[in-house]
Each structure stands twice: as C-alpha cells, then as structure tokens.
Amino acid sequence: MKFQNIKRSTISHQVAETVRDAIVSGAYVPGDPLPTERALADEFGINRSSVREALRQLESWGLVEIRHGAGARVSDFLSTAGLQLLPFLLAPGGRLDPKLLFDLLELRVELLGFTAGHAANRADPPAIQELAACLGRLEAATDVEDVQVLDYAFFQQLVVMSGNRVLALLSNAIARVYLENRALFSMMYVGGLDTGPHRRTLEAVGQGDATGARAAMAEYGASALGRLR
C-alpha cells in the first residue's frame, strides 16, 4: 500500500476549483456575470482577499474576464482557453464526456506518430539505450497502474528524443489529463498491454527509420482508440 500525497490546499485554491467546476459543468454559461467579490466572500464565509486570489487563477485559466468596476463575467472558454482546461472538461461533475475523450485520443494518434518519426530522425545511441530501458521496465511491470505510468514514460522518452520543445510543452499538458483522470485511462490497460508496437518503434528508431517508427506508434495509438468504442 502506497500512501497518496496529502494535498494541503489553500482556501483560494479550493474556491478556484469550486467555481471552475461550476463553470465547466455548465452551471454558469459564457457571458453570465459572476457574483461580486464581496458576495462570493460572504457566500463562502471567507475573506475577500482569498476570493481575489481565486479569481486571478480563474482568469489565467481563461475562464473568466474581470473588468474594473464592472464585475467578472464567464468567458467563452472554448474559444479562449488552452489545453490546461482539458483535464477538467473531460469529466465535468464526474460525468465523462466520451466525445471529448475520443477527440483527445484521435489527436494523440497523430502526435504519437509525429513524435516517433522525429525521434527516429534525431536519436543518438545513449537515448536509444534509455528508450530500450523504458521498454524493458514496461514489459517487466505487472501492476496495471505501473503499466500505465511506464507506458507514458516510454512516450515521454520519445518526446525528449524528438528534441522538439513545443511538443514537450504539449505533452506536459496532455500528461496532466492522465494525472487528473487516471482511472479513466486505466481501461486502456485492462487485459494487459500489447508491447509489440513499442518494440517495433524502438527498432525503427534505432535504425533511424522515421517512416517505420511513425507507423508503429500510430498503430499503437489507433488500437487504443479502437478499444474505446
């Protein structure tokens, strides 16, 4: 039994999360005015400073727009927010949005291929060795949760090898989706993981075969996508 990290949370974080969930779950519609800072402070029974800190957070998530003297409004976050919202949009109020998950995995297929292809182009021996080690650890794992983590580590190593920092940032954002909704993705791993595509990817990357690596990784992504239906 491993203990979870105890998450200590500040009041402002809790408020931000509460209001954030209210917004993404549709309790507030884009354009709606938020209660005033003083009203929120009253409602939550906390100080206005804490509310303000929470609002700053909501603002930087792209969820609300604050105007001096005129209050805060819920913004049209689907056209202003970035991927940092995805973890919370995926299962608002505990209810999974299957279409959104499908969209994510669909895009992931593309990114997996892109990543593997560029990793093959730019790989150097030590990195390839590290990738092989990742694969070894993955194949040795039995616990579902470990498999999940190590599978992601394999992909992460490919991202590093690709040398594309924009891709790295993008993959950070996607990693958060996994972390926030770990249970959601565990279904992709029940009944064991076929590491065949991983092995073929490793081989192709080792030979600098970008086309092969891309195909192998895309195949893996597509199979995960297929398992969703």
Partner DNA sequence: TGTCATAATTGGTCGGACCACCGGGCCACC
Partner DNA sequence: GGTGGCCCGGTGGTCCGACCAATTATGACA
Residue 17 interacts with DNA (CB under 7 A): yes or no: no
Print the binding letters for residues 182-201 with its own copies: x by CB under 8 A, - otherwise. Answer: --------------------
* Location of structure tokens 């070894």: 136
Instruction: Identify the bridge partners of residue 122 per DSSP, sorted by sequence position.
Output: none
Span 110-149, contacts to its own copies by CB under 8 A: 110-111, 114, 118
Smallest gap from Cβ 53 to its own copies, in A, equals 5
Smallest gap from Cβ 80 to DNA, in A, equals 17
| Residue among 120, 105, 118 nearest 178 (CA) | 105
Backbone angles phi, psi at 36, to 5 degrees: -70, 160
- The tokens describing 134, both together, are 């990742």
Among 38, 165, 182, 227, binds DNA (CB under 7 A): 38
d(CA 62, CA 81): 5
Print the binding letters for residues 67-86 with DNA: x by CB under 7 A, - otherwise. Answer: xxxxxx--------------
d(CA 155, CA 198): 9
Q: Which of DNA, its own copies, none interacts with 72 (beta carbon under 5 to 8 A by kind)?
A: DNA
| Residue among 14, 12, 19, 30 nearest 81 (CA) | 30
Print the binding letters for residues 31-60 with its own copies: x by CB under 8 A, - otherwise. Answer: ------------------x--xx--xx-xx
* Location of structure tokens 């991983």: 198
Residue 78: CA count within 13 A, CB half-sphere: 9
Residue 22 interacts with DNA (CB under 7 A): yes or no: no
Q: Which of DNA, its own copies, none interacts with 71 (beta carbon under 5 to 8 A by kind)?
A: DNA
Residue 83 interacts with its own copies (CB under 8 A): yes or no: yes
| Residue among 144, 156, 138 nearest 189 (CA) | 144
- The tokens describing 107, both together, are 């895009």
Q: Which of its own copies, DNA, none interacts with 144 (beta carbon under 5 to 8 A by kind)?
A: none
- Binding interface with DNA (CB under 7 A): 8, 10-12, 34, 36-38, 45-50, 52-53, 55, 66-72
